[in-house]
Structure 1
Amino acid sequence: MTFKPTWNNMFSLRFFRKALSFLLLHISMQFFIPPAFRPFLLKRCGVKFKKSKTVFIGTNVLFDIMKKSNTHIGDNVYITTGVKIINHYPIISQDGVSEFKTGDIIIGDNVFIGMNSLIVKPVTIGDNAVIGAGSVVTRDIPENTIVAGNPAKIINHVDKV
Protein backbone atom coordinates (compact mmCIF):
# COMPACT_ATOMS: atom_id res chain seq x y z
CA MET A 1 0.00 0.00 0.00
CA THR A 2 1.46 3.33 -1.00
CA PHE A 3 0.58 6.66 0.47
CA LYS A 4 -0.09 9.46 -1.96
CA PRO A 5 0.09 12.87 -0.32
CA THR A 6 -2.60 15.24 -1.48
CA TRP A 7 -3.24 18.90 -0.88
CA ASN A 8 -6.52 17.98 0.83
CA ASN A 9 -4.61 16.13 3.60
CA MET A 10 -2.28 19.05 4.11
CA PHE A 11 -5.07 21.57 4.64
CA SER A 12 -7.23 19.47 6.95
CA LEU A 13 -8.34 20.68 10.39
CA ARG A 14 -6.25 17.95 12.05
CA PHE A 15 -3.14 19.21 10.27
CA PHE A 16 -3.74 22.79 11.45
CA ARG A 17 -4.35 21.70 15.06
CA LYS A 18 -1.11 19.73 15.09
CA ALA A 19 0.78 22.60 13.46
CA LEU A 20 -0.61 25.09 16.01
CA SER A 21 0.38 22.80 18.91
CA PHE A 22 3.88 22.46 17.45
CA LEU A 23 4.18 26.24 17.09
CA LEU A 24 2.93 26.95 20.64
CA LEU A 25 5.27 24.30 22.04
CA HIS A 26 8.30 25.91 20.45
CA ILE A 27 7.23 29.43 21.41
CA SER A 28 6.95 28.29 25.05
CA MET A 29 10.61 27.21 24.97
CA GLN A 30 11.92 30.72 24.22
CA PHE A 31 13.62 32.94 26.80
CA PHE A 32 11.40 35.97 26.14
CA ILE A 33 8.22 34.15 27.24
CA PRO A 34 7.60 34.82 30.97
CA PRO A 35 7.71 31.66 33.14
CA ALA A 36 4.17 32.33 34.40
CA PHE A 37 2.87 32.26 30.80
CA ARG A 38 4.53 28.98 29.77
CA PRO A 39 2.00 26.66 31.46
CA PHE A 40 -0.79 28.56 29.70
CA LEU A 41 0.81 27.86 26.30
CA LEU A 42 1.56 24.24 27.19
CA LYS A 43 -2.04 23.65 28.28
CA ARG A 44 -3.08 24.59 24.76
CA CYS A 45 -0.64 21.95 23.46
CA GLY A 46 -2.16 19.17 25.56
CA VAL A 47 0.03 19.08 28.68
CA LYS A 48 -2.24 18.52 31.69
CA PHE A 49 -1.71 20.52 34.90
CA LYS A 50 -3.28 20.01 38.31
CA LYS A 51 -2.79 23.74 39.03
CA SER A 52 -0.82 25.59 36.39
CA LYS A 53 -0.31 28.65 38.64
CA THR A 54 1.93 26.69 41.03
CA VAL A 55 4.24 25.30 38.32
CA PHE A 56 7.54 26.85 37.22
CA ILE A 57 8.91 25.89 33.81
CA GLY A 58 12.30 27.25 32.76
CA THR A 59 13.49 28.13 29.27
CA ASN A 60 14.28 25.55 26.60
CA VAL A 61 12.10 22.84 28.20
CA LEU A 62 10.88 20.37 25.57
CA PHE A 63 7.63 18.43 25.91
CA ASP A 64 6.99 15.63 23.43
CA ILE A 65 3.37 16.12 22.38
CA MET A 66 3.47 14.79 18.86
CA LYS A 67 2.73 11.19 19.85
CA LYS A 68 -0.62 10.06 21.26
CA SER A 69 0.28 10.22 24.95
CA ASN A 70 -0.13 12.65 27.83
CA THR A 71 2.05 14.46 30.32
CA HIS A 72 0.44 15.15 33.72
CA ILE A 73 2.05 17.69 36.06
CA GLY A 74 1.08 18.12 39.74
CA ASP A 75 1.23 21.10 42.13
CA ASN A 76 4.40 23.01 43.08
CA VAL A 77 6.56 21.48 40.36
CA TYR A 78 9.83 23.14 39.31
CA ILE A 79 11.14 22.15 35.90
CA THR A 80 14.41 23.97 35.31
CA THR A 81 16.14 25.01 32.10
CA GLY A 82 16.93 22.47 29.39
CA VAL A 83 14.78 19.56 30.63
CA LYS A 84 13.46 17.19 27.93
CA ILE A 85 10.30 15.17 28.61
CA ILE A 86 9.85 12.51 25.93
CA ASN A 87 6.83 10.19 25.94
CA HIS A 88 8.15 7.65 23.45
CA TYR A 89 11.12 5.37 22.97
CA PRO A 90 12.24 3.07 20.12
CA ILE A 91 11.87 -0.69 20.05
CA ILE A 92 15.23 -1.95 18.81
CA SER A 93 15.46 -5.35 17.13
CA GLN A 94 17.90 -7.08 14.80
CA ASP A 95 16.26 -5.26 11.90
CA GLY A 96 16.84 -1.88 13.54
CA VAL A 97 14.17 0.46 14.87
CA SER A 98 10.83 -0.75 13.59
CA GLU A 99 8.38 1.00 15.91
CA PHE A 100 8.03 3.29 18.90
CA LYS A 101 6.34 2.63 22.23
CA THR A 102 4.44 5.52 23.81
CA GLY A 103 2.93 6.17 27.20
CA ASP A 104 2.00 8.80 29.75
CA ILE A 105 4.45 10.64 31.97
CA ILE A 106 3.06 11.56 35.39
CA ILE A 107 4.90 14.08 37.57
CA GLY A 108 3.60 14.23 41.15
CA ASP A 109 3.31 17.16 43.57
CA ASN A 110 6.31 19.09 44.99
CA VAL A 111 8.79 17.73 42.44
CA PHE A 112 12.05 19.43 41.45
CA ILE A 113 13.65 18.47 38.12
CA GLY A 114 17.25 19.68 37.72
CA MET A 115 18.80 21.39 34.72
CA ASN A 116 19.26 19.42 31.47
CA SER A 117 17.58 16.27 32.80
CA LEU A 118 16.01 13.83 30.39
CA ILE A 119 12.80 11.99 31.20
CA VAL A 120 12.26 9.15 28.74
CA LYS A 121 9.65 6.40 28.44
CA PRO A 122 6.36 6.27 30.25
CA VAL A 123 7.32 6.92 33.87
CA THR A 124 5.72 8.11 37.09
CA ILE A 125 7.62 10.51 39.33
CA GLY A 126 6.29 10.34 42.89
CA ASP A 127 5.46 13.26 45.19
CA ASN A 128 8.31 15.18 46.86
CA ALA A 129 10.95 13.76 44.49
CA VAL A 130 14.16 15.58 43.53
CA ILE A 131 15.88 14.79 40.23
CA GLY A 132 19.50 15.94 40.00
CA ALA A 133 20.86 18.00 37.11
CA GLY A 134 21.72 16.02 33.98
CA SER A 135 19.90 12.88 35.11
CA VAL A 136 18.35 10.41 32.68
CA VAL A 137 15.11 9.03 34.11
CA THR A 138 14.01 5.75 32.49
CA ARG A 139 12.16 4.11 35.42
CA ASP A 140 9.51 5.11 37.93
CA ILE A 141 10.73 7.24 40.84
CA PRO A 142 9.18 6.55 44.25
CA GLU A 143 7.88 9.29 46.54
CA ASN A 144 10.27 11.22 48.81
CA THR A 145 13.47 10.26 46.99
CA ILE A 146 16.48 12.06 45.55
CA VAL A 147 17.78 10.58 42.29
CA ALA A 148 20.68 11.47 40.00
CA GLY A 149 22.89 9.99 37.33
CA ASN A 150 22.66 8.23 33.99
CA PRO A 151 20.53 6.19 34.43
CA ALA A 152 18.97 7.90 37.45
CA LYS A 153 19.47 5.97 40.70
CA ILE A 154 18.24 6.65 44.21
CA ILE A 155 20.85 8.60 46.18
CA ASN A 156 18.92 9.44 49.31
CA HIS A 157 15.46 9.95 50.74
CA VAL A 158 13.96 13.38 51.36
CA ASP A 159 13.09 12.43 54.98
CA LYS A 160 16.79 11.90 55.80
CA VAL A 161 18.00 15.25 54.45
Structure 2
Amino acid sequence: MIGFILHKIKQLLFLRRLKKAKKYISVGNSHFLEAFDLLLNSPEPHRVYVKVGDDSMLNCNIIFESGSGEVIIGDRSFIGASQIICKSKIEIENDVFIAWGCCLYDHDSHAIDYKERQKDIERQLSDFRNGKNFIESKDWNVVNSKPIKICSNAWIGMNCILLKGVTIGEGAIVGAGSVVTKDVAPWTIVGGNPAKLIKQIPVELRKRII
Protein backbone atom coordinates (compact mmCIF):
# COMPACT_ATOMS: atom_id res chain seq x y z
CA MET A 1 0.00 0.00 0.00
CA ILE A 2 2.80 2.43 0.93
CA GLY A 3 4.61 1.60 -2.31
CA PHE A 4 1.45 2.34 -4.31
CA ILE A 5 0.98 5.71 -2.56
CA LEU A 6 4.62 6.69 -3.15
CA HIS A 7 4.28 5.74 -6.81
CA LYS A 8 1.18 7.93 -7.16
CA ILE A 9 2.94 10.86 -5.47
CA LYS A 10 5.94 10.44 -7.78
CA GLN A 11 3.63 10.32 -10.80
CA LEU A 12 1.78 13.45 -9.68
CA LEU A 13 5.02 15.38 -9.20
CA PHE A 14 6.17 14.27 -12.65
CA LEU A 15 2.93 15.47 -14.26
CA ARG A 16 3.32 18.85 -12.56
CA ARG A 17 6.93 19.15 -13.80
CA LEU A 18 5.90 18.16 -17.30
CA LYS A 19 3.05 20.68 -17.42
CA LYS A 20 5.46 23.45 -16.44
CA ALA A 21 8.12 22.26 -18.91
CA LYS A 22 5.79 22.02 -21.90
CA LYS A 23 5.56 25.81 -22.08
CA TYR A 24 9.07 25.71 -23.53
CA ILE A 25 8.76 22.54 -25.65
CA SER A 26 7.46 21.95 -29.18
CA VAL A 27 6.62 18.27 -29.54
CA GLY A 28 4.92 15.82 -31.91
CA ASN A 29 3.44 12.57 -30.57
CA SER A 30 6.53 11.66 -28.55
CA HIS A 31 6.52 10.50 -24.92
CA PHE A 32 8.12 11.81 -21.72
CA LEU A 33 8.96 9.22 -19.05
CA GLU A 34 8.92 9.83 -15.29
CA ALA A 35 12.56 10.88 -14.88
CA PHE A 36 12.21 13.60 -17.53
CA ASP A 37 12.77 17.16 -16.40
CA LEU A 38 13.51 20.52 -18.00
CA LEU A 39 15.59 22.97 -15.98
CA LEU A 40 15.88 26.60 -17.13
CA ASN A 41 17.92 29.38 -15.57
CA SER A 42 16.38 32.78 -16.43
CA PRO A 43 14.20 31.52 -19.31
CA GLU A 44 12.85 33.91 -21.90
CA PRO A 45 9.02 33.82 -21.82
CA HIS A 46 7.22 32.26 -24.79
CA ARG A 47 10.50 30.90 -26.21
CA VAL A 48 10.76 27.30 -27.43
CA TYR A 49 13.96 25.78 -26.06
CA VAL A 50 13.33 22.13 -26.97
CA LYS A 51 11.93 20.74 -30.24
CA VAL A 52 10.98 17.05 -30.35
CA GLY A 53 9.68 15.09 -33.34
CA ASP A 54 7.41 12.03 -33.44
CA ASP A 55 7.62 8.67 -31.69
CA SER A 56 10.61 9.51 -29.49
CA MET A 57 10.86 8.58 -25.78
CA LEU A 58 12.66 10.89 -23.34
CA ASN A 59 13.65 10.00 -19.78
CA CYS A 60 16.44 12.58 -19.50
CA ASN A 61 17.13 15.90 -17.80
CA ILE A 62 17.59 18.83 -20.19
CA ILE A 63 19.37 21.75 -18.55
CA PHE A 64 19.81 25.30 -19.84
CA GLU A 65 22.16 27.05 -17.43
CA SER A 66 22.05 30.31 -19.41
CA GLY A 67 19.13 32.02 -21.11
CA SER A 68 20.25 30.80 -24.55
CA GLY A 69 20.52 27.49 -26.36
CA GLU A 70 18.40 25.03 -28.30
CA VAL A 71 17.90 21.27 -28.14
CA ILE A 72 16.47 19.48 -31.18
CA ILE A 73 15.47 15.80 -31.03
CA GLY A 74 14.17 14.00 -34.11
CA ASP A 75 11.86 11.04 -34.66
CA ARG A 76 11.98 7.58 -33.06
CA SER A 77 14.87 8.37 -30.73
CA PHE A 78 15.24 7.11 -27.14
CA ILE A 79 17.15 8.96 -24.43
CA GLY A 80 17.52 7.20 -21.10
CA ALA A 81 18.17 8.74 -17.69
CA SER A 82 20.93 11.03 -18.91
CA GLN A 83 21.74 14.75 -18.84
CA ILE A 84 21.73 17.19 -21.75
CA ILE A 85 23.38 20.48 -20.73
CA CYS A 86 23.02 23.15 -23.39
CA LYS A 87 24.21 26.70 -23.99
CA SER A 88 24.44 26.86 -27.80
CA LYS A 89 22.85 23.90 -29.61
CA ILE A 90 22.52 20.14 -29.21
CA GLU A 91 20.91 18.21 -32.06
CA ILE A 92 19.93 14.55 -31.95
CA GLU A 93 18.59 13.21 -35.24
CA ASN A 94 16.35 10.21 -35.97
CA ASP A 95 16.53 6.63 -34.67
CA VAL A 96 19.18 7.42 -32.06
CA PHE A 97 19.66 5.43 -28.83
CA ILE A 98 21.27 7.15 -25.82
CA ALA A 99 21.56 4.94 -22.75
CA TRP A 100 21.39 5.98 -19.08
CA GLY A 101 24.12 7.87 -17.22
CA CYS A 102 25.32 9.88 -20.22
CA CYS A 103 26.18 13.58 -20.26
CA LEU A 104 26.10 15.84 -23.32
CA TYR A 105 27.84 19.11 -22.45
CA ASP A 106 28.15 21.75 -25.18
CA HIS A 107 30.26 24.24 -23.23
CA ASP A 108 33.26 24.43 -20.90
CA SER A 109 31.24 25.69 -17.90
CA HIS A 110 34.10 28.00 -16.88
CA ALA A 111 36.77 30.14 -18.54
CA ILE A 112 40.32 28.95 -19.13
CA ASP A 113 41.57 32.10 -17.38
CA TYR A 114 41.78 31.35 -13.63
CA LYS A 115 40.95 34.99 -12.82
CA GLU A 116 37.55 34.56 -14.48
CA ARG A 117 36.99 31.36 -12.47
CA GLN A 118 37.69 33.33 -9.29
CA LYS A 119 35.00 35.79 -10.37
CA ASP A 120 32.63 32.85 -10.92
CA ILE A 121 33.09 31.79 -7.30
CA GLU A 122 32.52 35.33 -6.05
CA ARG A 123 29.32 35.67 -8.10
CA GLN A 124 28.06 32.25 -7.01
CA LEU A 125 28.54 33.10 -3.34
CA SER A 126 26.81 36.46 -3.78
CA ASP A 127 23.84 34.97 -5.63
CA PHE A 128 23.44 32.09 -3.17
CA ARG A 129 23.66 34.31 -0.12
CA ASN A 130 21.01 36.60 -1.62
CA GLY A 131 18.59 33.73 -2.17
CA LYS A 132 19.03 33.56 -5.94
CA ASN A 133 19.96 30.76 -8.31
CA PHE A 134 23.68 30.41 -7.58
CA ILE A 135 24.67 30.97 -11.25
CA GLU A 136 22.19 33.76 -11.97
CA SER A 137 24.95 36.37 -12.40
CA LYS A 138 27.42 34.13 -14.24
CA ASP A 139 29.28 35.78 -17.15
CA TRP A 140 28.76 33.37 -20.06
CA ASN A 141 30.67 35.58 -22.49
CA VAL A 142 33.99 34.14 -21.27
CA VAL A 143 32.87 30.49 -21.62
CA ASN A 144 33.66 28.54 -24.79
CA SER A 145 30.68 26.75 -26.35
CA LYS A 146 30.20 24.74 -29.56
CA PRO A 147 27.22 22.70 -30.80
CA ILE A 148 26.95 18.93 -30.45
CA LYS A 149 25.32 16.80 -33.14
CA ILE A 150 24.37 13.13 -33.03
CA CYS A 151 23.42 11.89 -36.48
CA SER A 152 20.70 9.35 -37.30
CA ASN A 153 21.02 5.68 -36.32
CA ALA A 154 23.81 6.32 -33.79
CA TRP A 155 23.97 4.47 -30.45
CA ILE A 156 25.56 6.01 -27.34
CA GLY A 157 26.29 3.45 -24.62
CA MET A 158 25.79 3.98 -20.88
CA ASN A 159 27.87 6.49 -18.89
CA CYS A 160 29.36 8.26 -21.90
CA ILE A 161 30.42 11.91 -21.92
CA LEU A 162 30.15 13.96 -25.12
CA LEU A 163 31.98 17.28 -24.96
CA LYS A 164 31.47 20.52 -26.87
CA GLY A 165 31.79 20.66 -30.64
CA VAL A 166 31.65 16.94 -31.41
CA THR A 167 29.63 15.28 -34.16
CA ILE A 168 28.73 11.62 -33.89
CA GLY A 169 28.41 10.34 -37.47
CA GLU A 170 25.48 8.35 -38.83
CA GLY A 171 25.25 4.82 -37.52
CA ALA A 172 28.25 5.22 -35.20
CA ILE A 173 28.42 3.40 -31.85
CA VAL A 174 30.09 4.90 -28.78
CA GLY A 175 31.07 2.22 -26.27
CA ALA A 176 30.01 2.42 -22.61
CA GLY A 177 32.02 4.77 -20.41
CA SER A 178 33.65 6.64 -23.27
CA VAL A 179 34.66 10.32 -23.27
CA VAL A 180 34.20 11.82 -26.73
CA THR A 181 36.36 14.87 -27.42
CA LYS A 182 36.58 14.66 -31.23
CA ASP A 183 34.22 13.84 -34.10
CA VAL A 184 33.27 10.20 -34.60
CA ALA A 185 33.16 9.02 -38.21
CA PRO A 186 29.95 7.45 -39.59
CA TRP A 187 29.54 3.69 -39.24
CA THR A 188 32.40 3.21 -36.78
CA ILE A 189 32.66 1.90 -33.23
CA VAL A 190 34.71 3.96 -30.76
CA GLY A 191 35.53 3.59 -27.08
CA GLY A 192 37.77 4.71 -24.25
CA ASN A 193 38.96 7.97 -22.70
CA PRO A 194 39.49 9.76 -24.96
CA ALA A 195 37.35 7.73 -27.38
CA LYS A 196 39.33 6.12 -30.20
CA LEU A 197 38.44 4.00 -33.21
CA ILE A 198 37.86 0.34 -32.40
CA LYS A 199 36.60 -0.88 -35.76
CA GLN A 200 34.50 -0.09 -38.80
CA ILE A 201 30.94 -1.41 -38.92
CA PRO A 202 30.68 -3.94 -41.79
CA VAL A 203 29.13 -2.60 -44.99
CA GLU A 204 26.32 -5.19 -44.86
CA LEU A 205 25.19 -3.75 -41.49
CA ARG A 206 25.03 -0.16 -42.69
CA LYS A 207 21.91 1.62 -43.85
CA ARG A 208 21.39 1.37 -47.57
CA ILE A 209 20.71 4.69 -49.28
CA ILE A 210 18.15 4.22 -52.05
Tell me whether the two structures share a fold, i.e. TM-score over 0.5: yes
- Percent same amino acid among aligned pairs? 34
Residue 93 of structure 1 and its aligned partner are, at CA, apart by: 4.4
**Compared CA separation, residues 37 and 77, structure 1 to 2 (3 A):** closer
Residue 103 of structure 1 and its aligned partner are, at CA, apart by: 1.2
**Compared CA separation, residues 143 and 120, structure 1 to 2 (3 A):** same
Aligned residue among 34, 42, 58 for 1:38: 58
State the match for 1:58 in structure 2: 80
Task: Tell me, yes or no, if structure 1 residue 157 matches structure 2 residue 200.
Answer: yes
Aligned residue among 97, 104, 117 for 1:85: 104
Residue 96 of structure 1 and its aligned partner are, at CA, apart by: 6.9
Distance (whole Å) between structure 2 residues aligned to residue 119 and residue 28 of structure 1: 23
Aligned residue among 171, 178, 203 for 1:128: 171
Distance (whole Å) between structure 2 residues aligned to residue 151 and residue 28 of structure 1: 31
Q: Report if the CA contact (8 A) 1:130-1:145 is conserved.
A: yes
Distance (whole Å) between structure 1 residues aligned to residue 91 and residue 173 of structure 2: 17
Distance (whole Å) between structure 2 residues aligned to residue 94 and residue 48 of structure 1: 33
Aligned length: 130
SS of 2:202's equivalent?
helix
Aligned runs of 1:59-78 on 2, under 5 Å? 59=81, 61-65=82-86, 67=87, 69-78=88-97
Distance (whole Å) between structure 2 residues aligned to residue 157 and residue 127 of structure 1: 12
Residue 125 of structure 1 and its aligned partner are, at CA, apart by: 0.8
Give the counterpart letter for 1:57 in structure 2: I
For structure 1, the 5+ residue unaligned runs are 1-19
C-alpha deviations, 1:89-114, integer Å up to 9, x for none?
A: 24424657583210110100110000
Residue 49 of structure 1 and its aligned partner are, at CA, apart by: 2.1
TM-score relative to the length of structure 2: 0.53
Distance (whole Å) between structure 2 residues aligned to residue 136 and residue 103 of structure 1: 16
**Compared CA separation, residues 107 and 131, structure 1 to 2 (3 A):** same
Larger Rg: 2
SS of 1:92's equivalent?
coil
Q: Report if the CA contact (8 A) 2:149-2:166 is conserved.
A: yes
Task: Tell me, yes or no, if structure 1 residue 143 matches structure 2 residue 186.
Answer: yes
Q: Give the RMSD, CA atoms, in angstroms.
A: 3.4
